[in-house]
């Protein structure tokens, strides 16, 4: 469904164009719902406000670009806007993984989920923007933290793959929680799980 968008992203990056993907998530509860819209914007689109987004969305876009990381905000319709900047190849986003983007743009029909760290706090091995793909057949590509962290989110992703929804998974790697499962990190991450059928 969104394969073409990621294919266009790769083309723009190859042409050395700065881009942003905006994903609008329509919640059904606090942590899940469906993907309402996914839009690719170039720097020119942003500068000229060529798409009909409200000014506060454009402000969020500029924040994401200036921070160099994913930025989330609530829309006036109580939806969640996830704004993800992708810089040119000469200025890559710190957690950018071209293999993941290339793979998600492929036109295969294998059900999969794209896992993206939205935010991180404390000491964690991967930061906002890190991505991973989970396939229905058990394969994976990339990592959002390794070991127990990947396993926890992969379990959730695989239960969702046939439902075509999104979820936001909170992973706590602090104190007793981390110690009980042998994690050496001391932080938390929020992971967006997007299903591609």
Is residue 62 assigned to a domain?
yes
Is residue 93 assigned to a domain?
no
Is residue 191 assigned to a domain?
yes
Q: Are residues 109 and 40 in the same domain?
A: no
Say whether pLDDT at 68 is over 70. Answer: yes
- Give residue-wise pLDDT tens across range 86-134: 875 555 555 567 788 888 888 778 889 999 999 988 878 888 888 999 9
Q: Are residues 82 and 115 in the same domain?
A: no
Residue ranges in 93-181 assigned as alpha helix (H): 98-105, 147-160, 175-181
Query: Three-state SS for 9?
Result: helix
Q: Are residues 81 and 109 in the same domain?
A: no
Q: Are residues 12 and 80 in the same domain?
A: yes
Long-range contacts at 5-9 (CB < 8 A, ≥ 24 apart): 5/38, 5/39, 5/40, 6/101, 6/104, 6/105, 7/105, 8/40, 9/40, 9/86, 9/101, 9/105
Distance CA 157, CA 119 (A): 18
Q: Are residues 135 and 177 in the same domain?
A: yes
Question: Where is the domain boundary, 44, 63, 86?
Answer: 86
Q: Are residues 159 and 118 in the same domain?
A: yes
pLDDT score of 129: 87
Question: Where is the domain boundary, 86, 115, 139?
Answer: 86
Q: What are the counts of helices (DSSP H) followed by strands (DSSP E) for the chain?
A: 6, 9
Say whether pLDDT at 65 is over 80. Answer: yes
Q: What is the mean pLDDT of residues 9-13?
A: 86
- The pTM (predicted TM-score) of the whole model is 0.85
Distance CA 97, CA 162 (A): 25
Residue ranges in 51-107 assigned as alpha helix (H): 55-67, 98-105
Question: Where is the domain boundary, 86, 117, 140?
Answer: 86
CA-to-CA separations, 55 to 19, 47, 71, 114, in angstroms, rounded: 18, 12, 15, 28
Domain assignment of residue 59, given as a range: 3-86
């Amino acid at each position: 469904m969104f394969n073409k968008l990621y294919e266009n992203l790769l083309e723009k990056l190859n042409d050395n164009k700065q881009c942003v993907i905006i994903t609008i998530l329509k919640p059904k509860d606090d942590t899940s719902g469906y993907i309402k819209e996914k839009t690719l914007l170039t720097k020119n689109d942003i500068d000229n406000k060529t798409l009909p987004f409200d000014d506060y969305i454009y402000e969020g876009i500029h924040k994401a670009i200036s921070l160099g990381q994913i930025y989330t905000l609530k829309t006036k319709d109580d939806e969640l806007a996830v704004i993800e900047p992708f810089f040119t190849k000469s200025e890559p986003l710190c957690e950018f993984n071209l293999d993941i983007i290339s793979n998600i743009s492929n036109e295969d029909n294998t059900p999969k989920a794209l896992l993206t760290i939205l935010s991180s706090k404390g000491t964690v091995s991967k930061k906002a923007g890190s991505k991973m793909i989970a396939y229905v057949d058990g394969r994976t590509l990339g990592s959002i933290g390794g070991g127990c962290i990947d396993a926890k989110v992969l379990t959730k992703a695989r239960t969702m793959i046939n439902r075509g929804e999104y979820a936001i998974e909170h992973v706590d790697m602090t104190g007793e929680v981390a110690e009980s499962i042998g994690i050496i990190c001391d932080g938390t991450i929020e992971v967006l799980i997007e299903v591609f059928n």
